Amino acid sequence: MKLNVLVTGAAGRTGRLVLENLLSDKDTFEPRGLVRSFEKAKESLEDHYAKLEPVLVEGDVTRPDTLVSPMTGIEALVILVSAVPKMHPPVDGQPPSFYFEKGGMPETVDWIGAKNQIDLAKRLGVSHVLLVGSMGSSNDNDPLNRVGDGNILRFKRKAEQYLIDSGLTYTIVNPGGLRNEPAGERELLVGRNDELFSIYSRSACSIPRADVARIVVSALTAEDARNKAFDVVGRPKGDGIPTADVSALFATTGPTL
Ligand code: NAP
């Protein structure tokens, strides 16, 4: 029996990698990917669109009615949507400033949007919900909360807690800063509640999106990834031994406190 999985945010930079990894394991997964519009996905997915198009469905996480059909019949849900800040045109001598588009504030997308998906997952009997959040969310004063006055990490944390309290089986993966680099070149480390920030500098707490995608896909079938929330970063290239088997990471983190 194959696992029916929906990846939301499938036209995003990590969502696309997750969907491609799922599609490459045809014996295990029957995936589909939710995008806001086929037209926009065609632009952002570029050369990847043609391969993914047969499994794409449209929906908007802020409109629960649009999620019912895409989520019907799935056994696992991967939440990879996020509000995305835009930069105001630069002004000489001023630091860069950011805003969120109308309808795209973190409260609407990262909190209400996640809640919509979790509520529907519960109603439809989805067995496992995997949420990708972000490191930094344990600290309300994190500078990312000030970007575009969006409190993005605060709302991501709120969604995490809602999922934990939902009674659904969950896995929460909170990566450090995301890099567009290949997978498998770094030693990966897991931690909890941002403790890795006190061991490594903030700038060193980063990880390739492709490694996050490997972890997400592995967590879908790993028993010991269930009901856990953990942070993950990659050590600088050349430090340590690159992590070949990401499933071994799950055993090194305990259940959520
Ligand atoms: P991304 O490329 O920014 O993709 C986000 C996706 O969310 C986009 O495809 C977007 O769709 C979708 N989305 C936004 N609003 C939506 C809505 N209302 N309905 C449906 N889809 C919606 O993602 P990423 O940079 O790979 O990040 C993946 C996750 O890791 C995010 O949760 C992010 O916050 C988190 N993270 C990021 C960093 C970092 O350094 N950037 C660090 C740690 C964690 P459209 O394509 O239609 O716009």
Ligand 1: lining residues by beta carbon, under 6 Å: 9, 11-15, 35-36, 40, 44, 60-62, 80-82, 84, 109, 113, 132, 134, 175, 177-178, 209
Find the 80 Cα to ligand 1 centroid distance in Å: 6
Are the CB atoms for 100 and 107 separated by under 8 Å?
no
Find the 56 Cα to ligand 1 centroid distance in Å: 16
Note if the pTM is more than 0.75: yes
137 catalytic per annotation? no
Give the number of other CB atoms < 10 A from CB of residue 2.
12
- Splitting the chain (257 residues) into consecutive groups of 10 residues, what average pLDDT does each group show? 97 98 98 98 97 98 98 98 96 93 97 98 98 94 93 97 97 97 97 91 90 98 96 94 96 72
Taking the C-alpha atoms of residue 207 and residue 188, their distance in angstroms, rounded to an integer, is 8
Question: DSSP secondary-structure letter at 246?
Answer: G
Nearest CA owner, ligand 1 atom 8: 12
Catalytic residue among 82, 134, 137, 206: 134
